[in-house]
Amino acid sequence: MFDDFILRALAAGVGVALVAAVLGCFVVWRRMAYFGDSLSHSALLGIALGMASGLSYSLGIFLVCALFATALTWLQHQRILATDTLLGILAHASLSFGVVLISLLDESGFNLHSYLFGDILTVGRADILWIYGGGVIVLAMLGWHWTSLTLMTISEDLARAEGVNTFFANLVLMALMTLVVSVSIRIVGILLVTSMLIIPAATARQWARSPEGMAAGAAVIGIVAVIAGIYGSLWFDTPSGPSIVSAAALLFFVTLMVAFTRKR
Amino acid sequence: MSTLITADNLFVSRRDQVILHDVSLRIGERDFITLIGPNGAGKSMLLKCLLGFYKPDAGRIERADDLRVAYVPQSLKADTTLPITVSRFLTLRQKPARDVLDNAIAETGIESLVAKPLQVLSGGEMQRVLMARALLSEPQLLVMDEPAQNLDISGQLAFYRLVDDVYHRRGLSVLMVSHDLHWVMASTRQVICLYHHVCCTGTPQAVAQDPQFVALFGEDMSKLMAMYRHSHDHNHLHDSASDGCGFPHE
């Protein structure tokens, strides 16, 4: 049953899983999970703006996410409120603005559900180009700055003393998250994007001995989860996004149990 | 002797608070300078300006060409989510020659730690690993911000002994912030007492008797410093007689 749409779904899913898992290691190490979650919530406003302007949704998502990251950085520098408060406000404000705007536009045929939970079985060739184009950029940037980012994760001061431009590196990391979140939304949806970043990385942590090992392990786990999730969703006739995340979560719990019993 | 770093008339303010006011200093070859001062006196800010983290609002910092500076932070809490061994941490973002690496490991006595994950190290072990990493660039200047702050007494003594050894063996310069007066009195050749501006500077004995120091830290502290000096004189004679590790006084 290798239909075209399944092949496209697999190609898109594997691409997203690979890139998200590698970037996800930094999300786990630098505790950016809540940032990723908030970022993806703001994507709905991007979809609404894309719809209102008649331009592509992906472009709208990317622009709003970029604006979100900039606004957050600026507000953090004002030091008036804690970051989690700011994230909560920005995330839910943009989510609500997005929903209100979409309902005002009253677009027929718009399926909010497919954006909240993803719809991998409808991806087209253009989506795949977006995913692989963005993916190559993200992996190249991560590979290029890998050791600097890792050192910065261990100690920001040490990295600065050794000549790493930590402000720029933080900016790069945020930009990469923006890119990954905006292309991953088609696959697993706004509500589940963060799980593609953190579950494979958290699973790989159980037995990884080096930063690179954890990234490679996360990539493998992410890809396995996507393939299992897509076939599972076809087999059981369940929604694809939640099926992929369920597969990833099952892998996480199994490795956790294995690690736990081995320790005892 | 050639100059490594000169700072002229540095001014730094943050949020309308003056942090550094007209601070000038010069670090030469083989200098051993300790910065002391109350909390919030701007010691860390001064270090960070000298390291190039921040640009001072006014004033000038001049570094010798191709100056190699290494930094040992106060402490490092390795996050358990990031799997990394000590040896990988040492060579992260730098590719030292084999003998340079071996020397640094031997000098800091961390041979038994290199295969361990970074997270399992004790505070004292971590500071030695950070020192080893700092030495890999074969620095001319070692900058440390309260490097023994989080160690217990024996850990502090061991770490300061290591700093001493490194200073003598390598002939580098040391600039550090330290609150451990015993160490300051015993090992430092120059003390800079900072409270937003340079209150006084000189040998530890001279600083301890300076009216500005007394005004800042109180009569008791001055007496305490003098006492440390006194006890140190005995130790010092003893030390130099036994292992020749005494300081060459100018």
State the nearest Cα–Cα gap between B60 and chain A, in angstroms: 19
pLDDT, tens only, B3-39: 899 999 999 988 888 899 899 999 999 999 999 888 8
pTM exceeds cut of 0.90:
no
Query: In terms of C-beta density within 10 A (0-12 exposed, 13-18 middle, 19 or more buried), how is residue B150 classed?
Result: middle
Contacts of B70 in chain A (CB under 8 A): 161
What is the rounded CA–CA span in Å between residue B71 and residue B226? 30
Q: Nearest residue on chain B to A207, judged by CA atoms?
A: B83
CB proximity A94 to B under 8 Å: no
- What element of type H or E holds B63? strand B58-63
Nearest to B76 among A147, A154, A160 (CB): A154
Q: Is the torsion defined by CA of A247, A248, A253, A257 positive or negative?
A: positive
B83-125: pLDDT as tens digits = 999 999 999 998 999 999 999 999 999 999 999 999 999 999 9
Pick the CATH number of A4-263 from 3.40.605.10, 1.10.3470.10, 1.20.120.330, 3.30.420.40: 1.10.3470.10
Cβ neighbours of A151 in B, within 8 Å:
92-93
Nearest-CA distance from B192 to chain A in Å?
Answer: 22
Say what the pLDDT of residue B53 is.
Answer: 87
- pLDDT the model gives residue B1: 62
Give the residue from chain A lying closest to B44, CA to CA: A157
The reported pLDDT for the residue numbered A264 is: 67
* Interval A57-113: pLDDT, tens: 878 888 898 899 888 888 888 878 888 898 999 999 999 999 999 889 877 777 888
Cβ neighbour number for residue A37 with a 10 Å cutoff: 20
A205 contacts in chain B (CB < 8 Å): 81, 83
Tell me whether A255 touches chain B (CB under 8 Å): no
Residues near A194 by beta carbon (within 8 Å), at least 6 away in sequence: A27, A33, A36, A37, A40
ipTM, two decimals, is 0.86
Angle of helix A193-205 versus helix A166-188 axis, rounded to 10: 110
Confidence of residue B165 (pLDDT cuts 50, 70, 90): very high
Would the CB atoms of A208 and B84 count as touching at under 8 Å?
no
pLDDT at residue A164 above 70? yes
Three-state DSSP state, A97: helix
Question: Which residues of chain A make contact with B78, given a CB cutoff of 8 A?
Answer: 154
Q: Give Cα separations from B69 to A139, A162, A246 (angstroms).
A: 32, 8, 50
**Nearest 5 degrees, angle CA A203-CA A43-CA A246?**
30
Are A94 and A64 a contacting pair, CB within 8 Å? yes
Contact A154 B84 (CB under 8 A): yes
Mutation target among B82, B116, B149 for the A interface, most CBs of A within 10 A: B82
Give chain B's domains with CATH numbers: 3-68+139-243 (3.40.50.300)
Q: How far apart are CA B11 and CA B8, in angstroms?
A: 9
What is the DSSP code string of A162-187?
TT--HHHHHHHHHHHHHHHHHHHHHH
Return the half-sphere exposure (C-beta side, CA atoms, 13 A cut-off) of residue B109.
Answer: 10
The pLDDT mean for chain B works out to 84
Please name every residue paired with B197 in a beta bridge, in sequence order, or none if there are none.
B195
pLDDT at position A22, please? 96
Whose tokens are 């600097």? That residue is A148
Q: Which residue of A has its CA nearest to B77?
A: A154
- Name the residue among A28, A151, A213 with its Cβ closest to that of B92: A151
pLDDT in tens, A189-230: 888 999 999 999 999 998 899 999 999 999 999 999 999 999
